[in-house]
Amino acid sequence: MRIWKMNGAGNAFAVFDARETAFAPTEAQIREIAESMRADQVMAIEKDLRADAFLRFWNADGSEVKACGNGTRAVAHLLLEETGKDEVRIQTEADLLKGARAEHGLVSVDMGSPLMGWEDIPLSEKMDVRGVDVKIGPMDDPYLYKPAVVSMGNPHAVFFVDDVDAYDIPAIGPLVEWHPTFPEGTNVGFAQVIDRETIRLRVWERGAGLTKACGTGACAALVCAARAGKTERKAKLILDGGELIIHWDEATDHVIMTGPVELEQSFNV
């Protein structure tokens, strides 16, 4: 079986080619793989008659998830190089996604439309998704409150802050990740709007912790910022591991994510 170690803007992945050899790991095995390969997510490329491949995702804690934007971009790069095509189609549990070559060696993925219904996130009950009833800190004087929420195939809660570096994200992240408002847990974004075309972002990923980059998190932050009138519908997202360009296309309602991919090593087992 072919295995690749890759990263997308610093978001680290272990990718297994399961198109010819079955790959059905246990949660414990996923945790071992993630630890040994220092991966935020583990992914398996499988055959799919509807697309160029099916892509399966696990977080570092062993849980299987439906979406990973940077991971999809990484595998899109592999498939684009393998097939020589300019565009590939990747089926996931969340949606059928399209990956394409972009300028300067970058790779784009069409992440589809953001989901904004409270039941789509999902939330525990009906709430205004532009600011849900979640507070961190003293009840009468919280220092973080009312994050905007959206689903990009996985749930995201986004706090807009003046300075992302002023918060102890490893301490705060778990408090929000499994807050009762989010019955399936949530990714947690801390977004600092620098100007109308630039956002500084750090993300506590559900099941993975604080990562150098989160593709769906970047998409969620841009959607929430643009929806609130804080930015334009296209912006540069500056993450700990690199930069992503996110464009929420008004004509199609689709979110396009563009950024770098790095192949660190590959080997056969």
Q: How confident is the model at residue 239 (pLDDT cuts 50, 70, 90)?
A: very high
- Map residue 169 onto helix, strand or coil: helix
Catalytic pick from 43, 55, 65, 68? Answer: 68
Q: What is the mean pLDDT of residues 231-243?
A: 97
Q: What is the mean pLDDT of residues 133-143?
A: 94
Same domain, 71 and 172: no
For 154-173, how does the pLDDT look when each residue is reduced to its tens digit (9 = 90+)? 999 999 999 999 999 999 99
pLDDT at 119: 97
Same domain, 90 and 140: no
Percent of the chain at pLDDT > 70 equals: 100
Same domain, 25 and 81: yes
pLDDT at 24: 95
pLDDT at 139: 87
Across the chain, what does the average pLDDT equal?
97
Contact 134, 181 (CB under 8 A): yes
| Cross-strand partners of 136 | 144
Same domain, 139 and 238: yes
Element holding 73 (H helix, E strand): helix 69-83
Contact 114, 248 (CB under 8 A): yes
Domain that holds residue 228: 135-253
The enclosing domain of 212 has a CATH number of 3.10.310.10
Q: Is residue 110 part of a domain?
A: no
CA distances to 45, 55, 81, 202 from 269, rounded to whole Å, are 15, 20, 21, 35
Q: Is residue 113 part of a domain?
A: no
pLDDT at 133: 95
Q: Is residue 124 part of a domain?
A: no
| DSSP E strands, 47-197 | 53-59, 64-65, 87-91, 96-101, 107-110, 135-136, 144-145, 148-151, 155-160, 187-195
Q: Is residue 119 part of a domain?
A: no
Contact 157, 176 (CB under 8 A): yes
Q: Is residue 264 part of a domain?
A: no
Same domain, 146 and 96: no
Q: Estimate to the nearest angstrom the gap between the alpha carbon of 47 and the chain centroid.
A: 23
pLDDT at 228: 98
Same domain, 160 and 71: no
Q: Is residue 267 part of a domain?
A: no
Contact 233, 249 (CB under 8 A): yes
Catalytic pick from 149, 214, 222, 238? Answer: 214
Q: How confident is the model at residue 131 (pLDDT cuts 50, 70, 90)?
A: very high
| Residue from 234, 252, 8, 6 nearest 110 by CA | 252
Percent of the chain at pLDDT > 90 equals: 98
Instruction: State the total domains in the chain.
Output: 2
Same domain, 38 and 88: yes
Q: Is residue 120 part of a domain?
A: no
Is 219 an annotated catalytic residue?
A: no
Is 224 an annotated catalytic residue?
A: no
Q: How confident is the model at residue 234 (pLDDT cuts 50, 70, 90)?
A: very high
Cα angle 22, 27, 32; round to 5: 90
Question: Rounded to whole angstroms, how far apart are CA atoms 60 and 158?
Answer: 22
